[in-house]
Chains A and B, each alone.
Chain A
Amino acid sequence: MSVGLVGLALLMGLVTYPSRALPLLAPGIERLPKVAMEYLRLVGPAVLAALAAVNVMVVTTEGGSPTFHVGIEWLAVAVCAAVTAWRHNLLVGLLAAVALVAMARAVGFAALPA
């Protein structure tokens, strides 16, 4: 069983724990400049959107070069975003996205992932 990523989990835990613990163990230490707090507030949407966009739009060919990809995944992701915003429920959005892709592939409108 692979254990290489346990080290990564430890490092991720190491940088996560202080933000949870420092104010509880040393009150007052959490004060950051306003501009830093504003930047941190915007990191979440930016990182998550970047991950999703790269995942569905950039594929790496066998030769290792990145290429632009267009597929049913775009529509599925858009449907998930719309349903989540409408229903305020990510689970429902995920189900809609998965159902769309499954149906499209079942009727031959979309290719299976390589």
Chain B
Amino acid sequence: MDLAASRRRLIVEALGIAASALAFGFVYGLSARNAGFSPLEAMAMSTIVFAGAAQFAAVGYVVGGLAWPGVVLLTALLNARHLLYSAALAPRLKGVPAARRALMAHLLTDEAFALSVGHFARIGRIDERGYWMAAFGSTFIPWNAATLAGVTIGGQIPDPGRFGLDVVFPAAMVGLAVGLLTGRRELVAALGGAGLAVGTGLVLGPAIGIIAGGLGGPLLGMALPAGSGTEAARLGSRESAERYSMPGTHLRPDQGPPGDPSARSSREALDDEAGLP
């Protein structure tokens, strides 16, 4: 596929993801507001951290009274998956000046990864401008704009509990977790983490419970025989790029525009291009 055609397709795909980022960014802004974040604080999270799941989780940590070191530790663990996205892109971006790669890294999300790797695969080479289009257009701009709207306009909603908006946060957490349940180990980690969190939380307080569940759940998952986890998508793989933050809304290379004969081949090329399983 030539560059112009691939960029057009990139824009179409980015628009779909941007719509989703707008919706979730608004929900995040609303949740942050309900948790007592000021607009400046909510925006600082969206621009500096710029990681949907970790930001939603941070709202819960703050509400639960978790101390900052605990928040930082859990954030680091939750965001460690970016290591493999970055590693998958690194060989292809060697020719880009280091300063620009440093900025590219800040914008590296599941969505930017999936969109740009698919674009690179279609044209058979790196397109730096395509990366910026994917990163800024699909996620960074809509996510931040929607956060601002949620944290400011959200205040105009009278008595949010009456409309069930207080349930948005726990429901979003569970929905995000469901998107990650790709094997029995993940299921045990989630259920075990929830059980540990509640049990510990009732004895020692909600904040300690969250840490106990978040750190202990994975150990319970790993206690299952290793073979049972093999059905799970490996971090850094195309599948894993689709499973965080906004389940069901990520780029799926085999679902290109109707009648697009390159859709299937681009999916295969994507894996080859990125050197992914």
Contact = CB atoms under 8 A, between A and B. Distances in A.
A40 B235 contact: yes
Given A40-B80, A49-B217, A89-B248, A77 B166 contact: no
Interface stretch (B4-12, B88-96, B120-128): B88-96
Contacts of A47: 57, 74, 77-78, 193, 210, 213-214, 217
Contacts of A55: 60, 63-64, 169-170, 173
A45 B216 CA distance: 12
A26 B153 CA distance: 42
B180 A97 contact: no
A11 B24 CA distance: 23
Q: What size tier do the contact residues of chain A reach?
A: 35 or more
A10 B93 CA distance: 27
Given A20-B106, A105-B162, A105-B164, A25 B101 contact: yes
Contacts of B87: 23, 27, 30
Nearest to B46: A9
A18 B259 CA distance: 41
Given A53-B213, A54-B64, A81-B174, A27 B90 contact: yes
A15 B79 contact: yes
Contact of A48 (B39, B86, B90, B176): B176
A3 B36 CA distance: 11
Interface SS of A by simple majority = helix
Interface centre among A10, A13, A51, A81 (most CB of B within 10 A): A51
A44 B53 contact: yes
A56 B170 contact: yes
Contacts of B81: 19, 40-41, 44
Contact of A3 (B41, B57, B167, B216): B41
B181 A45 contact: yes
Interface string A1-28: 1111111111111111101111111010
A38 interface: yes
Interface SS of B by simple majority = helix
A98 B164 contact: yes
Given A20-B105, A44-B81, A46-B221, A11 B186 contact: no
Contacts of B198: 53-54, 57-58, 68
A66 B218 contact: no
Given A1-B39, A6-B44, A49 B174 contact: yes
A80 B177 CA distance: 11
Contact of A6 (B40, B64, B89, B187): B40
A107 interface: no
B77 to A, nearest CB: 4
Leading 6 A-B pairs by shortest Cβ distance? A46-B217, A50-B213, A101-B164, A46-B193, A50-B197, A42-B218
28 contacts: A3-B41, A5-B37, A5-B44, A9-B44, A9-B45, A12-B54, A19-B83, A20-B83, A21-B106, A23-B83, A25-B105, A27-B91, A30-B86, A42-B217, A42-B218, A42-B221, A43-B217, A47-B210, A48-B57, A49-B190, A54-B198, A54-B210, A66-B202, A90-B178, A91-B20, A93-B175, A101-B164, A101-B167
Interface of A: 1-17, 19-25, 27, 30, 32, 35, 37-58, 60, 66-68, 73, 76-77, 80-81, 84-85, 87-91, 93-94, 97-102, 105-106, 112-113
